[in-house]
Chain A
Amino acid sequence: MKSALRILNVLPLYGGSLTVGRYCTTALRQLGHTVEVFEAPEFHDAFCALKNQRISVERLSALENSFLQIVSQTILAKVESFAPDLVLAQAQAPLSRQALQRLRRDKVPTAMWFVEDFRVFPYWKAFARHYDVFAVIQKNPFFDLLRELGQENVLYLPLAADPAFHAPMDLSDVDRRRFGADVSFLGAGYPNRQVAFRQLTSLDFRIWGNDWPADPVLTPCMQRPGERITPEEAVKIFNATKVNLNLHSSIKAEPPVSGGDFVNPRTFELASCAAFQLVDKRSLLPGLFSDREVAVFENMPGMLEAIQHYLTRPAERRTMAERARARVLAEHTYVHRMRDLLDFARQRIGLGEVDAGPAGPPSPLDGLPDDLRHDVRELLKVLNLPESVSFEDLVWAIRQRQGALNDLETSLLFLDEWRKQYVRGQ
């Protein structure tokens, strides 16, 4: 059995990869690892405030750099306290190069899950080699480019879904009316989508999401324009819609169906909800879903034809959607991704190879009489920890609790202090 790891998950300040980061935390905990989260979004408002000062750009730039250095230093302090086996980061995580170099010097392994399009977000060129493992959602030529820059530990790690959250739902009539439509799209208003969706205005078609420029043609379809849609609402929209359109973004308006490579998170989330989707062709899609699970179109005529076809075939939609959900459960959850990432890191950089002895670390239940054993076992359940968790990881999990602690939690922390003072020093 692989030993449980202590993982510090460094979330980005904001953005799409922030959500992915939160799913990673959940998945790693489900895998039995002890996860500490660096909540970078808590720093975001202060960072944004710098931009409102009407100061010279030079000063602003210097201040932003200083601010991010402070954030990086905070992460290093957390590493010092938590002593993780791995620091995991998602794209745009606020780890400076200096901080990454320090972690490497201190032999703290780092991994980045770069869940961005490398062509659109080119900053990886300056940062990729500073991570020990670099997981990406695209293959070649990205792999080769990374190797040219000195990053040898590259892993293809497509996006995924959290099936407990992205799940089929029985919606109330009110929610069905509020969120439902024949055809829906949820996402940002990229140029290719603006062009493509002008052809759908005669349908019962709803557009959700932000960053849509004012467009009189699309205005009747826009729902709550400019408003952010929460992940919970997204799941309701997916479940309430007959045909969920999933058109990958492109910064170019033409062609509207861009034919790129990576597969976006919405593909997995729709599938995990057992919501029927019509998705544009992507070169990496066949490795993830078959055309028996998701309906694929290659161009605009194909999209229009498919909409008409599936709108009138509810049974076909349901069958495909159920198969898609099964595929997610079998292969495309964040638990799968995190397991793959850690396996790769074990294999490439020897992650977690400290020998805990043949029986693993001692369990906090060892040597306890029945009543205390029962109490600690209940606490482990509340903390979502396996009975095989080490005492140190249990202590860390207790330290993460919100609000005042109870008598047992405090007693265990007190015991930890006592051990630090009298046992470990011996």
Chain B
Amino acid sequence: MEKYLIIQLARFGDILQSKRLISGLSTQPPAEVHLAVDASLVSLAKLIYPDTHVHGLPVHGTHPDPVHLLRHCGTIFKQWQETDFSRVFNLNHSGFNHVLAGLFDPEQVAGYQWRKGQILRGAWPDMVFRLTRHRLTNPLNLMDYWGHFLNPALAPELVNPPARPKGGGVGVAMAGRHARRCLPVPVLVQILTAALHGHPGPIHLLGTETERPAARQLLKALPPVLQTRVCDLTGRTGWRGLIEVVSQLDLLLSPDTGTMHLAAHLGTPVTAFFLSSAWCFETGPYGDGHLVWQAARPCAPCLESQPCDQDTACLRPFTHKAVLSFLASQTSFPDPPAELCLLESSVDEFGLRFTPQLGELPESQERDALRELLSGHCLGKEPRNAAAQRAPAAWMYDEPHWMLEQS
């Protein structure tokens, strides 16, 4: 039996965005798939991927004493070395991932490899790293990036079910990890007031204990007619409870969060709000039929780590009356605000794509041409229009690609 190890040490959302790879491996019978995640996400990973062997490592926010860490990690690493993995997928560009690569021969590892103490990036991640230098034209979803570590990758339509309302009301993801990417309470109040107009069912506020104060603030600010329908679940659900709630929703309203990816995983429709550093082409909800409101100012997508000198101007269009009107009626509006675009998700043989429904995004031709190039690259397809790929090919393919064997 083939045995695989996937090392995914990032956050909640990333575990879900590894699904194309993990499911792709799991559906190659007979296969035994192991998944290494942060210790705090073990129970989530087991719920999402019940057929995998999940290993928890102390990576995020946990502070074990060094002795405990050495013992705990030592036991897991020994077990890994005794397991004859035919392939190890080392997904994240982090110091933890780099040292874990040291356990294996470089030839065994896809992603980040270790050769005599030197970290090496495989050909595919190296190419994708190049893409992210100009994020505006980057058409590649993270799910597809990791999914295409497999050749052939799992068919995109098999990753997540199409979005379909479940009858359990509306969910509201209160916040994500990056504050600037989230909608502040006053903005959220206006959006919810408009969007929930046509949804008579319960309204579930979702989030961790940290988001409880914001949830209370939101509750107070909502119109009384909505307040009575709110069920504040912030800090009150474990992973299992969250999955149960999200799986029954008609709609999840969310910024770019792990909960949004959970909804996509469960086939729950998402309407997402992407601003600041969030870029739907990279981390939008995966599957058919989700909607994303994408901020499209010239400075977007920005870097979360750098301060915003525009006073988060990309937030303003989200409360434009035309947007609120659309959210209320789901019909087109005559005068959409500039710098905001509504897109709908779908999948094709390469992966996720977003098609503008309202408004426009800059550099769409370049983005499409890059996507065509990547699609041909991963699927081995002949280009439909070679001339259109000349510019992206010149940008993506460098001399080392041309001259040196790519692992």
Binding site for B on A (CB under 8 A): 367-369, 372, 399-422
Contact = CB atoms under 8 A, between A and B. Distances in A.
B100 A415 contact: no
Contacts of A408: 70, 74
A417 B67 contact: no
Contacts of A414: 57, 69, 73, 96, 99-100
Contacts of B99: 410, 413-414, 416-417
Interface of B: 57-59, 63, 66-67, 69-71, 73-75, 77-78, 80-81, 94-96, 98-100, 102-105, 114, 116-117
Given A410-B77, A414-B57, A420-B95, A404 B105 contact: yes
A407 B67 contact: no
Given A404-B105, A409-B102, A410-B102, 19 more contacts: A369-B67, A372-B71, A401-B116, A404-B103, A405-B102, A406-B81, A407-B75, A407-B103, A408-B74, A410-B73, A410-B99, A413-B99, A414-B69, A417-B95, A417-B96, A417-B98, A417-B99, A418-B59, A422-B63
Given A404-B103, A407-B74, A407-B81, A418 B58 contact: yes
A53 B102 CA distance: 39
Q: Top 8 closest A-B pairs, CB basis?
A: A413-B99, A407-B77, A399-B117, A405-B102, A417-B95, A407-B78, A411-B73, A411-B74
Nearest to A422: B63
Contacts of A422: 63
A418 B67 contact: no
Contacts of B114: 405
Given A401-B117, A404-B105, A413-B99, A368 B69 contact: no
Nearest to B57: A414
A412 B103 contact: no
A92 to B, nearest CB: 24
Contact of B70 (A404, A415, A417): A415
B34 to A, nearest CB: 15
A421 B103 CA distance: 21
Nearest to A406: B81
B77 A411 contact: yes
Contacts of A367: 66-67
Contacts of A405: 102-103, 114
Contacts of B71: 372
Contact of B103 (A399, A400, A410, A419): A410
A415 B69 contact: yes
Contacts of A404: 81, 102-105
B140 to A, nearest CB: 27
A424 B78 CA distance: 28
Interface centre among A400, A401, A402, A414 (most CB of B within 10 A): A414
Chain A interface mostly helix, strand, loop or mixed? Answer: helix
Given A400-B116, A402-B116, A411 B69 contact: yes
A405 B104 CA distance: 7
A413 B102 contact: yes
Contact of B100 (A372, A402, A410): A410
A401 B117 CA distance: 7
Nearest to B69: A415
Nearest to B99: A413
A399 B99 CA distance: 9
B24 to A, nearest CB: 26
Interface centre among B71, B94, B103, B104 (most CB of A within 10 A): B103
Nearest to B65: A367
A194 B82 CA distance: 62
Contacts of B73: 407, 410-411, 414-415
Given A404-B103, A417-B99, A422-B63, A411 B70 contact: yes
Nearest to A409: B102
Contacts of B75: 407
B8 to A, nearest CB: 16
B119 to A, nearest CB: 10
Interface centre among B80, B99, B114, B116 (most CB of A within 10 A): B99
Contacts of B100: 410, 414
Contacts of B104: 404
Contact of B95 (A407, A412, A421): A421
Contact of B117 (A400, A417, A421): A400
B221 to A, nearest CB: 37
Contacts of A420: 95
A403 B57 CA distance: 23
Contacts of A409: 102
Contacts of A368: 67, 70
A407 B77 CA distance: 5
Interface centre among A400, A403, A404, A421 (most CB of B within 10 A): A404
22 contacts: A368-B67, A402-B116, A404-B81, A404-B102, A405-B103, A406-B103, A407-B73, A407-B77, A407-B80, A408-B74, A410-B73, A411-B73, A411-B77, A414-B73, A415-B66, A415-B70, A415-B73, A417-B94, A417-B98, A418-B58, A418-B59, A421-B95
B319 to A, nearest CB: 37
A372 B69 contact: no
A137 to B, nearest CB: 33
Nearest to A368: B67
A305 to B, nearest CB: 55
A377 B62 CA distance: 27
B210 to A, nearest CB: 19
A368 B71 CA distance: 10
Nearest to A402: B116
A179 B70 CA distance: 53
A249 to B, nearest CB: 37
A413 B119 CA distance: 13
A407 B390 CA distance: 47
Contacts of A416: 99
Nearest to A395: B99
Contacts of A400: 116-117
Contacts of B66: 367, 415, 419
Contacts of B57: 414
B88 to A, nearest CB: 11
A404 B98 CA distance: 12
A372 B58 contact: no
A87 B112 CA distance: 30
B206 to A, nearest CB: 28
Contacts of B80: 407
Contacts of B117: 399-401
A402 B57 CA distance: 25
A408 B67 CA distance: 12
Contacts of B77: 406-407, 410-411
Interface centre among A411, A416, A419 (most CB of B within 10 A): A411
